[in-house]
Amino acid sequence: MTRYFPRYYETATVLTQPMGIIMTATRTIVLATLIACCVAIATAATNDTPPSATATADSKPSASETKPTVAQQITGSWSGTWTTTRDGGDAGPLRCTVTGQTNGLYNARFRATYKKIFPFLHSVELHAKQMDGYIEVTGTAKLADWAGGNYTYSGKIEGDSFICNYKSDKDSGVFDLKRSK
């Protein structure tokens, strides 16, 4: 007598029953998927699994596993304000997008509003250096003479805070930025 719901090892007796063909195919797929998952897990556990994935409760991750790279800390979107220390302390909103370049250089593209109505855009090539607990950034930019001429930039990025001083012959001030969410 043939059963309609055979065990996975009884496939030969089921092929004559219509429901048995469907059940056999389904069980074969499920069994093959289960075997493939077990093989993948076993391979990952013995070969290429990063230490953090197999760490025990007693082990501590190394500093390189928990510390973000300079590029991860500096690149991305920032927003905040700029404030000048000259000409009555004018200030306004500021946005910055930092992208990576080569050899530890980064392009910072600043978008500001001057006198509450004039949009202003300029880019600065920043050099970034990992320090103890923060990233030091420095750079220079040549702007139009009416905008202040040659500027120098020096600042630091610590966590989600980016503070940068700027200076030219005609202006100086500070950018106070936070990482945009």
For the stretch 113-161, pLDDT in tens is 888 888 889 999 999 999 999 999 999 999 988 888 999 999 999 999 9
Phi, psi of 109 (to 5 degrees): -105, 115
pTM to 2 decimals?
Answer: 0.62
Note whether 123 and 108 are within 8 A (CB): yes
Note whether 157 and 141 are within 8 A (CB): no
The predicted structure's pLDDT at residue 9: 43
The predicted structure's pLDDT at residue 116: 83
Spatial neighbors of 106 by CB under 8 A, at least 6 apart, are 71, 74, 75, 98, 99, 100, 125, 126, 127, 128, 137
Please count the other Cβ atoms lying within 10 Å of the Cβ belonging to residue 146: 7
For the stretch 8-37, pLDDT in tens is 444 444 444 444 444 444 444 443 443 444
Please count the other Cβ atoms lying within 10 Å of the Cβ belonging to residue 7: 10
pLDDT exceeds 70 at position 106: yes
What percentage of residues in the chain have a pLDDT greater than 90?
42
- Which CATH code is given to the segment(s) 70-179? 2.40.128.20
Note whether 163 and 96 are within 8 A (CB): no
